[in-house]
């Protein structure tokens, strides 16, 4: 993940019922626990945690072409 990526934030981190959307604002390589992601929601809330608590937001459509 990189800064600016659209992500989904785990309810294990947010304590909400489902995954919420956010934008990555920082990526840190922590020598003790590994990659730490910080993401900001539209409400300006910031959540941070290990990268396994985030996943890419697959809202874009994929165009498939055939010959």
How do residues 28-55 score in pLDDT, each as one tens digit? 999 999 999 999 999 999 999 999 999 9
Residue 64 phi/psi, 5-degree rounding, is -110, 125
pLDDT of 14 strictly over 80: yes
- What are the CA-CA distances from residue 37 to residues 27, 43, 50 (Å)? 5, 18, 6
Average pLDDT, the chain: 90
Reply yes or no on whether the pLDDT at 61 is more than 60.
no
pLDDT of residue 57: 87
Q: What are phi and psi of 53, to 5 degrees?
A: -90, 5
Instruction: Report domain extents, the chain.
Output: 6-56
Band (pLDDT 50/70/90 cuts) for residue 10 is: very high
Provide the pLDDT for residue 66. Answer: 63
> Whole-angstrom Cα distance, residue 53 to residue 66?
36
Q: Provide the 10 A C-beta neighbour count for residue 34.
A: 11
């Amino acid at each position: 993940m990189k800064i600016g990526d659209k992500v989904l934030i785990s309810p294990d981190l947010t304590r909400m019922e489902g995954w919420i959307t956010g934008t990555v604002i920082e990526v840190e390589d922590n020598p003790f626990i590994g990659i730490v992601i910080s993401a900001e929601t539209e409400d300006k809330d910031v959540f941070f945690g290990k990268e396994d608590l985030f996943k890419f937001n697959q809202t874009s459509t994929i165009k498939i072409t055939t010959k």
